[in-house]
Structure 1
Amino acid sequence: MQEARANPNGLPPSAGDAGKTTPAYRRLVVASGLGSAIEHYDFFIYAFTAPIVFDHFFFPKMDSVASMLAVYATFALGFIARPLGGMVFGHYGDRLGRKAMLMMTFLLMGVSSFFIGCLPSYDTIGLWAPVGLIILRFLQGFAFGGEYMNAVSLTMENAPSGRRGFFASWVNASGPIGIIVASGLIALLGAVYSKEIFAAWVWRVPFLLSFVLVLVGTWLRYNVDESMLFKAVKDETKKQRAPLLEVIATYKKATILGCLVNMVHSAFQYMSTVFVLGYAIRQLGMAPSSITSGTMIANIVEMCLVPVIAAYSDRLGRRPFIIAGIVLAAIWYPFFFQIVLLKDPLLLVCGLVVSIGFIHALMFGPEAAFTAELFPTKVRVSGSSLAKQFGIILGGGLAPFAGTALMGGGQDFHLVVIYFEVIAVLAFIGVLIAPENAKRALG
């Protein structure tokens, strides 16, 4: 397998130079980060609202377990659409450039979220309500799948070589900002309004706000420069009719390794938040604000730790931190679910901070650079998008659905824990055999 290679001739000096960053580059980091934050906001307002409202709003003819399975199936659909978005926008990102694709994915995500907030209920238009939700959810996932690795590649390819992990991590670190805003807004609205009023119309407000965020993000991304490394190999990439086919033919091992890392961190994240949110509210009768507030605090901690961990990964390597996160997640997971069963809001908040703020940050901090460094510039977006999005489907996308199906209406978490431990073991083996590219020049 070909990995990220030594710096080829003709690359711009700043792409492999460990020197200072320019004001233009700092603007690029801010634009990529804020764009990622807004897209995470769009994605997670669905994640936080769906378990509270959507079962009776869009699927009222089903019993409680079946309706929640339907809600989580639409949640998973957004993840299933991600690889398709990654393939399409990755293809054009590798052929035409990263910047144009980021503009398109951002607009598509924001418009889809806005129209989810406009959807009538099942009682109003019948089956067209869940059909509309499914279509818009698919478009959300399609856009999100094309967004992430274009943003990471654009940021990392312009970064000083000795600080790639740190700067690439700002795309990941900015994601929690969107989650913080989404969870904080849902918690605030849930505290101000009764459950009945929230379910009637208030849930629409966070979705409708996406329109304003789209305008801000579009302006930010319009004013950034294209990747310097991409410009250096632009003539070569134009000769490639299908970068994805080259990835499948030449970089199968890299794709599998990237998939496993993203599978474990996303399974841990979404099982600890989305699945726990639905379970704690429906089965344990807890207030939504305790979970959403805990998620918000946990993401504040993670937002601060991700760049710090990534900066150390530039010095010590990506693999040690990811391995530590996987091992701690596997040990912590059974204890976390016992905390959930205690139904103590304060303990649950502490559990979420440990899970997301610390353990997930160990995996998430170096992940952006780890995944992108597995592939050379000419196929970086296609390859890393494929690895990233398939990993998130198999991990985070299926996690809430699988957890609900394994538990049914009971309170036995053993099968859920085993489900995660299997994922953790596979990812642990994958990282052990993965190359360490932190010190290698990008090719």
Structure 2
Amino acid sequence: MTGFISAAGRNRKLPLALRTTVCVTAIILLGCGLIWGRQEFDTPIPIVLKPVKTVYPKYPDHLKKEGIAGEVIVSVWVDEKGNVKIASKPFHIIRSLHPELDELAVSAAKEWKFAPLIVPKKNNFDGVGNFLSFLFDPGESSEVEDAAPREPLSRELLTLLDRSWASCEKMEDVADFYLCRERIKENIKNIVNVGDGFMWGTPDDIDAGEMWRFQVYCFVPDLGLPKTNRYINEYQITSRNSRVTELRTPAKPLSNERNSMYEKKPLSFPIPMSVSSRLLAPGFRDEYDYFFGEDEKILGKNCRVIEIMARKKKSAPIRKATVWVERKSDRVVKAEVECGETAIDKRILAECRELYLVPHMTATYEYDNDIKGIRLPSQSKIVLDYSQLGRRNKRDTRIKLAISYDKYRFFTVSTEPKIIK
């Protein structure tokens, strides 16, 4: 978090906005302020504010039920040691929402702590102004991780699960070892500052009539054209002791379509061959609730649709999924999953924590390579979106992978997993 303070202006003139949301998961959006003293054209000097302790106010249930939601902005002062002080009344609340929520926000703001400020040596410097903006957002309903007992599955649904699982077992038996060509098209967008807003005011520590302004910036994926990379790999799946492993090696000779190594892939996502097994296997069924969806025609096949919801969304690698099963053969034709946080790559989670964004990853798998009586993966589509605070329904695509698989070769050997050519 970076603010700017005028080199020759008054030192106590940096309002800086820090937005938080009060819900099941607390997210912080970076804010950036710009303050001008009487000499408006002075060169700004950057000052870094890094929160080391954050406290979020409680959101009383009775206020949630009443539909009272919105933003409370608290005016605070951060001294050179990073300690937080609340501005004097009536300037301590810049934006009020409800007396009880206002008081909870002020109490939480008092507990915040920042790293010691790194500033140029100047006379009389004793801190910077700051705003903490708490967004009281009901968000999703609270989740009880201890799932309640559920009704037994209907005979029809249980039969379909068993038959489709049997087809998955056949796929595993045939494809313990296989090698295919993998073509990857990767689109990546950069993280940039977009969108801003202004607020004006007159704190009690500056002269009457003197105004200040702060500007809020949001860090989101660039809305411009993405960077596109293409790769061609030899992609191998090995299955040993019920553990499925994927291996990649660059295609030889190197293709013009491939412009860089894909060894350090930016996403970690479920292996296509193992997705349907993970969702349909009897040993995992106690983790999910299953429902029939509306029948649909996919890839030219008439399919039954199974909707799947994780019973413990917070800890589930797959939060929800849809599986299309061919009526004629009971084979899985397509699977679409929404990944939970535990399935998202640690590098992605670290980036989101740094930029105060929320990751959302979905994966779609099509099984249209009909070989040896089984349906093997033909295409995968992986999409990683980021959303901002207070904009749950607005997402920006960060990374998109379009992957195709062809030229399958099979091996049934009992050696250690390795690339076989």
TM class by shorter chain equals: under 0.3
Rg (Cα) greater in structure: 2
> More helix per residue: 1 or 2?
1
User: Which fold has the larger relative contact order, with Cα–Cα distance below 8 Å and residues 6 or more apart in sequence?
Assistant: 1
